[in-house]
Structure 1
């Protein structure tokens, strides 16, 4: 991962901690109705950098919208060897 990507993720993470601390503590899971793994992206609607399985527990760090107004969530999957990145918010349920 390049220094630029690390810097962007660090900035997004820091912004999420400052702007949405209560939301970041919710328990959430991937709920893609197709049942397939959900793509994790570098930026909202950006390059795919990983996948997270349907039903997996995740932590939402921050939310944003893309140029079309679609909601995206910056997530950190629970467990080991996870990729922090953006997923389409419609496929995330928090409880």
Structure 2
């Protein structure tokens, strides 16, 4: 019985721990045609805070448009087993597909 309770508790933890990314219906990948890493910014048109290489799997969690009506997406995803919030990138360099 004790073992069954432990397994149940672990199952609940696993389910709730993954809820943060359950909202992402599509999986996307960085696809910058220039072959250079994609600049990740602190806000649309903002300061570069990171770079992601092509084929990095990411999730789009938000989309907004700048004053030139260009779509910017907020990217999150896993890196070395840890879920990270990357930052903003121009939408045209991210390709998505349904799971």
Q: TM-score, normalised by structure 1?
A: 0.70
Match of 2:88 in 1: 86
Q: Normalized per residue, which structure has more strand?
A: 2
How many pairs were matched up?
74
Which ranges of 4 or more aligned residues in structure 1 deviate by more than 4 Å? none
Is contact 1:52–1:77 with CA below 8 Å preserved after alignment? no
Using the alignment, how far apart are the partners of 1:48 and 1:28 within structure 2?
Answer: 21
C-alpha root-mean-square deviation of aligned residues, in Å? 1.8
Q: Specify every segment of 5 or more residues in structure 2 that has no aligned partner in the other structure, as ranges.
A: 1-19
Q: Specify every segment of 5 or more residues in structure 1 that has no aligned partner in the other structure, as ranges.
A: 1-16
Q: Deviations over 1:25-81 (max 9, x none)?
A: 211000111111000001111111111111110011110111111111000132237
Match of 2:27 in 1: 27
Q: If you compute each CA radius of gyration, which structure gives the higher value, 1 or 2?
A: 2
